[in-house]
Structure 1
Amino acid sequence: MGERVPHRARSAMFAPLDQTGRVEAVTRRLVDAITLGLLADEEQLPSEAELAGQLGVSTVTIREALMALRQQGLVETRRGRSGGSFVRAPRDHGGEFWRERLREVSLGELRDLGDHYAAIAGAAARLAAERSSPEDLERLEQAADDVRGTSGNGTARAERQFHLEVAAAAQSSRLTQQEVQLQGELGAVLWLSAGCGGGADRSHSEHRAIAEAIARADGPLARTLTEKHILAAVDRAAEVHLELTRQ
């Protein structure tokens, strides 16, 4: 399955930062965009001057952020006429890596992040029902179906992609940025159990229901379904966390 990148989500990643001059904020924004696939492997980033203009920061800030990304192995700089800064997508971690991450997260932190994410994703679904274009609805329908037949990390990727599409359809840069940031924090941890024991079928059914509510412009229902979907995933992640901590 070739992943489609929501164009509005990409645009939101290059919207001006509220915290100007913050190297950490620029680095976090670009790390999230790369790890979630909004910036593709081998893709050339805009020049330092262009990035500075788009994000509303100084070129020195961009230079330091790119240095941090190079140290993390997420960007490489090439010299010459066709040179510049190019994305190096991280390898896809296996389930054991994410189980260890889940073991390290406290139940309180997991539920706190889950509550925050449910609020953001729910608001995005409500706005998507009010604002989505026919193109948005088509992409949502496809993203809802993409989870079928997946397992493991593939299901987790399809989950993240669907919710990025919903956020993009909401046509709110701030909500999209929050969606990306929270997905970066939760990563595949939230969807760790999604690809097991019929999880892909469950995700497909829930995604279809959310997409249909958005298509019918039923914002309250879209929000309710999305919040239930997220909070149920948090409950399942909490169960896995407890199992891991008993081992």
Structure 2
Amino acid sequence: MSEQDGGIRAGEALFRPVRTGNPFEETVERLLQAIKLGVVGPGDRLPSERDLAARLNVSRVTLREAIRALTEAGYVESRRGRYGGTFVNERLPKPRRVGPKRLARELGGGLEDALVLRSALEEGAAEAAASRKLSADDREHLCRCLADTDAAKLADYRRMDSRLHLAVAEVSGSPSLAFAVADVRMRLNALLDAIPLLERNIVHSDKQHRAVVEAILAGDPAAARRAMGQHLAGTAALLRAFLT
């Protein structure tokens, strides 16, 4: 994606300078987002230490501490040598499983808050993406993420699904929107992990994903917003059914 036409590179929103607060904690959070949302997948190498530290605007000492924490948690490993670096582990830690009833008690009104926020952000992202003149890289990025989601195994589906939704926000031309979508997706994934993945629902979701991407590629903002809204409504209905 070229900067000239307003596009941003895949995952760039997650690697922008950290905000004020605790640099270590936020660096860990950013790296975990990149892994859990599929920006860097199992077996992939993270950007170089020098590049990551510069993009996140943290010291290399802070970055090394964050990588050490993720190594101890089982998310990454460091390799030495000419082709070394920090790599995402092939097998990632399984998410903590919480029963639907317990999660519903813990959430309070958090479920509806997350669903409303997601709808506002992601429908707007789809509409914005369809309103832009996309570069060849933008279009290829969307199509690749769609194909990866279609071909994903059950164990990888949620991560690839997250990656596709983030890709839609990335090609909207707004790094801030992409970052906000990543944040709300992390919140939703914690809820989605508490409910089962249903084969029939996956087939339906794949059809809706294609409708969203096709509308964006066709430059039809209204259709893109409508298709994304229908897709999100289905996910919201499942979450409400299991968690309330």
Q: Same fold (TM over 0.5)?
A: yes
Q: Is residue 128 of structure 2 the alignment partner of residue 110 of structure 1?
A: no
The alpha-carbon deviation at position 239 of structure 1 amounts to 0.4
Which is worse superposed, 66-75 or 194-203? 194-203
Q: Which amino acid aligns with 2:59?
A: S
Matched, 1:236 2:233: no
3-state SS, counterpart of residue 44 of structure 2:
coil
Structure 1 Cα separation of the partners of residues 147 and 44 of structure 2: 27
Equivalent-residue separation in structure 2 for 1:67 and 1:147 (angstroms): 30
Ranges in structure 2 where 5+ consecutive residues have no aligned partner: 1-7
Q: In structure 2, how many angstroms separate the alpha carbons of the residues matched to 1:112 and 1:217? A: 30
Deviation for aligned residue 1:130? 2.1
Aligned to 1:122: 123
Matching residue's letter, 1:182: V
Alignment of 1:87 with 2:88, yes or no, is yes
Quote the RMSD (CA, aligned, Å): 3.3
In the alignment, the residues of structure 1 paired with residue 34 and residue 222 of structure 2 have an alpha-carbon distance, to the nearest angstrom, of: 29
Match of 1:217 among 213, 216, 219: 219
Secondary structure at 1:41's aligned position in 2? coil
Residues of 1 paired with 2:86 and 2:150: CA distance?
A: 36
Percentage of matched positions with identical amino acids: 32
Deviation beyond 6 Å, 4+ runs, structure 1? 191-194
User: Aligned AA for 1:227?
Assistant: G
- Give the letter aligned to residue 115 of structure 1: V
CA–CA separation in structure 1 for the residues paired with 2:184 and 2:160: 16
Alignment of 1:164-183 (within 5 A): 164-183=166-185
Give, in whole Å, the separation in 1 of the partners of 2:213 and 2:58: 37
Unmatched segments (≥5 aa) in structure 1: 1-6, 243-247
Alignment partners' CA distance in 2, 1:47 and 1:155: 28
Shift of 1:33: 0.7
Deviating more after overlay: 154-163 vs 199-208 = 154-163
Alignment of 1:65-104 (within 5 A): 65-79=66-80, 83-91=84-92, 93=94, 100=99, 103-104=102-103
TM-score w.r.t. length of structure 1: 0.76
Shift of 1:55: 1.2
Deviation at residue 58 of structure 1 after TM alignment = 2.2
**1:190, distance to aligned residue in structure 2 (A):** 3.4
How many residues are paired up?
Answer: 234
